[in-house]
Amino acid sequence: MKFKTLAQVSAIAAITGLGLPAFAQQTVTWWDFFAGGDGVRMKGLIDQFNAEHDDIQIEATTLEWGVPFYTKIRTSAAVGRGPDLMTYHLSRMPLGLSEGVLTPITAEDLEAGGIAEGDFFAGALDSAKGPDGQLYAVPFDIHSIVLYYNKSYLEGTRFLDDDGNLTGISSVADFEEALAAAKENGAESPVTYATGDDGGVFRVFYTLLSQQGGTLISDAGEVLPGDSAEKAVKAVEIMTKWHDEGWQPEQALYEASVALFTSGKSAFQLNGVWEVPTMNDLAANGDLGFEWGAVEVPQLMDSQTTWADSHAWAIPVQGDETMDPEKRAAVMQVIGWMEKHAIQWADAGHIPAYKPVAESEEFKVMEPNATYSTLASKATYDPRSEVAGVASPAYDAAQNIISPAIHGYLSAEDAVAQMKGELEGRMK
């Protein structure tokens, strides 16, 4: 037995050509889905980790975000050909648990990584737990949509204060007044978001629904319970009005919607915090040509809340095998290290879920993160359901039903009824 292990280890060492010390060397296979500005920061973290550790090396692969990523995880984990460590959306947890691809993260695991449950924001930690209260993932960040603004279109309006910061938006009427003013000042699409894509439409819709106190899917599994359907109709109507008035781009796909803002054609952008590095980089290179800011999405309806999700770390099952304890400890060490260096990830716009970093002085002076980080405590996560979350039927419905509705192909009432029917059908 011992001989066999020895032979295996030396064989692996020989194959990977890493030489001595063969015993301690662990290779952690890592899969993520970060391809944008945040992907660059993640690669920086990985390189730094590899440089600092002789005994653990990360072999990272970036796969395509969404359904392709999660499909590959499920099929590869089931046959034991998956990664040792992967990034995971907490909104995806219910489906992940029903698929059985996630391994429980035990107290010993956390200890091996040098972290503890108490280090994390409660909201994120709860979302990382199964219904049994067992932890299945380690939260890494909290990300949300924020309101980016281009100051040049708002100059001379009541929406900039003396310091040049956005002010005076506390209702849909205020926001629409700002959009009209920006249009008058020459903005081609006063507010831009991915009106033709699943994520862009879903996040704005869900934020407007949540701000009215509406529920997409209740914990009991009811779709749009009570008067939530009416509130959903209201949300779709608001988005439709922005289209009818020419305030938002028509059928914009994600890249195009970002380009509208970065090229200075839009006064506002409703998009994820992950575009903050794009803006910072452009501004640093002097390619932006306008002053910008980003704030928590203002209270447009009855209450202050925003859609949010978390990236987390998870260890997939290895087919019928269990992971070698030494390797598992190495994986946890990677997770712990990443958490403690999350300040570099915050540079990608995200709010760290690890409190020692999120409450550090370094983070408090990081802009614009510090301005919008208040959203974390008031955020509304995706419904805890197998049909909600990233790459889910709820996202599909946003593209398939709500997007056509805001472009005038379907009435808001019909769209909401169809969405309800569709999600109920998928839940069977």
Partner 1 sequence: MSMIRNNRRHKLVAYSLILPFVAIFALVFAYPVIEVIRLSFTDAPLIGSGDWVGLDNYKRLLSDRLFYTSLKNNGYFVLLTVVPTTVIALLIALAVNRLSGRMQALALVLFFTPYVLPVSVVTQIWAWMLDFQFGILQPVLEFFTGKPVPVFKNPFWVMPAVAVVTIWWTNGFNVLLFIAGLRNIPEELYEAAKLDGATSRQLFFRVTWPLLWPVTALVLTLQLILQLKIFDQVYLLSEGGPFNSSYVLLLMVYREAFQLNNGGYAAAISLVLFLIIVVVSVLQFQILRIGGRDK
What is the three-class DSSP state of 322? coil
Q: How far is the CB of 83 from partner 1 (least distance, A)?
A: 17
Rounded distance, CA 183 to CA 338, Å? 44
Closest listed residue to residue 115, CA positions, set 362, 376, 354, 360: 354
Strands 26-32, 85-89: pairing kind: parallel
Q: How far is the CB of 18 from partner 1 (least distance, A)?
A: 33
Q: How far is the CB of 418 from partner 1 (least distance, A)?
A: 6
Q: Which is nearer to partner 1, 277 or 393 (CB)?
A: 393
Measured in degrees and rounded to the nearest 5, phi and psi for residue 87 equal -85, 150
Q: How far is the CB of 187 from partner 1 (least distance, A)?
A: 17
Q: How far is the CB of 145 from partner 1 (least distance, A)?
A: 22
Tally the C-alpha atoms within 13 A of residue 314's C-alpha that lie toward its C-beta. Answer: 33
Pair of tokens at residue 153: 């279109």
Q: How far is the CB of 11 from partner 1 (least distance, A)?
A: 29
Q: Which is nearer to partner 1, 161 or 250 (CB)?
A: 250
DSSP run (H or E) holding 15 = helix 2-16
Q: Which is nearer to partner 1, 105 or 402 (CB)?
A: 402
Q: How far is the CB of 256 from partner 1 (least distance, A)?
A: 6
Strands 268-272, 191-192: pairing kind: parallel
With vertex at residue 412, the alpha carbon angle to CA 245 and CA 149, rounded to the nearest 5 degrees, is 40
Rounded distance, CA 177 to CA 10, Å? 69
User: Cβ(85)–Cβ(29) under 8 Å?
Assistant: yes
Q: How far is the CB of 212 from partner 1 (least distance, A)?
A: 24
How far is C-alpha 91 from the chain's CA centre? 9
Measured in degrees and rounded to the nearest 5, phi and psi for residue 14 equal -65, -40
Q: Which is nearer to partner 1, 57 or 400 (CB)?
A: 400
User: Cβ(97)–Cβ(77) under 8 Å?
Assistant: no
Pair of tokens at residue 389: 């979350």
Q: Which is nearer to partner 1, 74 or 327 (CB)?
A: 74
What is the three-class DSSP state of 264? coil
With vertex at residue 129, the alpha carbon angle to CA 375 and CA 298, rounded to the nearest 5 degrees, is 15
Rounded distance, CA 63 to CA 34, Å? 8
Q: Which is nearer to partner 1, 164 or 408 (CB)?
A: 408
Q: Which is nearer to partner 1, 95 or 357 (CB)?
A: 95
Q: Which is nearer to partner 1, 189 or 210 (CB)?
A: 189
Q: How far is the CB of 75 from partner 1 (least distance, A)?
A: 6
Q: Which is nearer to partner 1, 45 or 391 (CB)?
A: 391
Q: What residues line the site for partner 1 (CB under 8 A)?
A: 67, 71, 74-75, 78-79, 95, 98-99, 196, 250-252, 256, 386-387, 391-393, 396, 399-401, 403-404, 407, 409-410, 415, 418, 421-422, 425-426, 428
Tally the C-alpha atoms within 13 A of residue 420's C-alpha that lie toward its C-beta. Answer: 20
